[in-house]
Amino acid sequence: MTHALDITIDEYLEIERTYVDAELQRILPPEDEYPQSIHRAMRYSVFAGGKRLRPILCLEAGRLFGTNERPLLRLAAALELIHTYSLVHDDLPALDNDDLRRGKPTNHRVFGEALAILAGDALLTLAFETVAASGLAPPERQARLVKDLAHAVGTRGMVGGQVVDLAAAAHAEENSGAGPPDSVTLHYIHAAKTGSLICAALRTGALAAGASEGDVERISAYGAKVGLAFQIADDLLDVLGSSESLGKAVGKDGRQHKSTYPALHGVEESQRIAARLVDEARAVLAPYEERGRRLGEMAHYLITRQR
Ligand code: FPP
Ligand code: MG
């Protein structure tokens, strides 16, 4: 919403969060709309206190290439709906079986498993309805954007990464003592399950603004690097962070035999890898000079955040 560069990154994130939240309020069916139970469940997780990082990255990419209009905001909000669906499903007993998310009981703990599954389904569906009806012109641009977004969250992106993540954890559990997977598999899991959506947020933001192919690829390269760095930071927070500030259990990755960078590379080397990725991501932005400053700051924020 703001272009002012003289406010801190924290102030900037707060303003953007409010801007995204207002759009999410408009998009989600009201709690009293029939059937009320599903709308309550959807809203519960969307408004549970997320940082809105994917929408903010999308908005910033759109602005970098000259758009700051309503269709961009709708797209940004849709990304948060997809992100929230992935968290609701990730927390289910059949997946990570978590009781706490963003400092609150997880969706299935409040609404039951069946409704949590359906709330996730409905959030994903609503996201694509929102993008398809965003009014982005020309229509070919909108179609391309929908295709790229779907690709990023399907089996060649987020869902694929989640599948391999679960398979690796099951393998480690069955073969007690087996360590994390090899570095190529670990890289795939992180880049796919988390990096894909973050990268798509940036890529679709650039597409919405009608950026050139070269710029779309450049911003996607930045997105792939910060997306991977973000998940490494998430792994590190599970080891080094506190459950109070994270709003979820810590130390669970180890207990669940999760494939993580600290488990394979150790804490310090993981910190170095994440920092290197952020440096590389910032270097990708160099041609945009001052216009890319916020994205450069965001890259740094993504690995230094405490929650
Ligand atoms: C925290 O984001 C989320 C992650 C680190 C992503 C983990 C990946 C998944 C849960 C993929 C799940 C996929 C399927 C298909 C179920 P965040 O720190 O931005 O959370 P916030 O929104 O609460 O701030
Ligand atoms: Mg998981």
Nearest CA to ligand 1 atom 6: 194
The mean pLDDT of 274-296, rounded to a whole number, is 97
Per-residue pLDDT at 269: 97
Per-residue pLDDT at 1: 47
**Which atom of ligand 1 is least distant from the CA of 89?**
16
**What is the chain's mean pLDDT, rounded?**
95
> How many angstroms is it from 290 CA to the middle of ligand 1?
30
Per-residue pLDDT at 41: 98
**Which atom of ligand 1 is least distant from the CA of 87?**
10
Question: 217 pLDDT band (50/70/90 cuts)?
Answer: very high
Q: Which residue out of 90, 153, 253, 260 has the highest number of ligand 1 atoms within 8 Å of its CB and is therefore the one to mutate?
A: 90
Nearest CA to ligand 1 atom 7: 194
In the predicted structure, residue 249 carries a pLDDT above the cut 90: no
d(CA 150, CA 147): 5
> How many angstroms is it from 197 CA to the middle of ligand 1?
9
Per-residue pLDDT at 177: 66
> How many angstroms is it from 199 CA to the middle of ligand 2?
18
**Which one has a higher pLDDT value, 250 or 31?**
31
Nearest CA to ligand 1 atom 12: 86
Q: Centre a 10 Å sphere on the Cβ of residue 150 and count the other Cβ atoms it contains.
A: 15
**Which atom of ligand 1 is least distant from the CA of 247?**
23
Positive/negative CA dihedral, 58, 62, 64, 67: negative
Answer whether 78's CB lies under 8 Å from 52's CB: no
Residues near ion ligand 2 (CB < 5 Å) are 90, 96
In the predicted structure, residue 143 carries a pLDDT above the cut 60: yes
Q: How many CA atoms lie within 13 A of 246 on its CB side?
A: 17
Question: 2 pLDDT band (50/70/90 cuts)?
Answer: very low
19-68 pLDDT tens trace: 999 999 999 999 999 999 999 999 999 999 999 999 999 999 999 999 87
Run of H or E including 41: helix 36-46
Which protein residues touch ligand 1 with a CB less than 6 Å away? 50-51, 53, 83, 86-87, 89-90, 102, 158-159, 162, 193-194, 231, 234
Which ligand neighbours the alpha carbon of 101 most closely? 1
> How many angstroms is it from 137 CA to the middle of ligand 1?
30
- Of 68-72, 142-146, 289-293, which gets the smallest average pLDDT? 68-72
Per-residue pLDDT at 4: 59
101-124 pLDDT tens trace: 999 999 999 999 999 999 999 999
Answer whether 87's CB lies under 8 Å from 45's CB: yes
Nearest CA to ligand 1 atom 22: 50
**Which atom of ligand 1 is least distant from the CA of 120?**
16
Residues 6+ apart with CB under 8 A from 106: 88, 91, 98, 99, 100, 116
Is the pTM higher than 0.85?
Answer: yes
168-216 pLDDT tens trace: 999 988 887 677 889 999 999 999 999 999 999 999 999 999 999 999 9
Query: Environment class of residue 268 by beta-carbon count within 10 Å: exposed (0-12), middle (13-18) or buried (19+)?
Result: exposed
Q: Which residue out of 46, 87, 258 has the highest number of ligand 1 atoms within 8 Å of its CB and is therefore the one to mutate?
A: 87
> How many angstroms is it from 253 CA to the middle of ligand 1?
14
**Which atom of ligand 1 is least distant from the CA of 48?**
23
Query: Environment class of residue 148 by beta-carbon count within 10 Å: exposed (0-12), middle (13-18) or buried (19+)?
Result: middle
Answer whether 69's CB lies under 8 Å from 139's CB: no
Helices (H), 68-212: 70-90, 107-111, 113-132, 139-153, 158-174, 183-190, 196-208
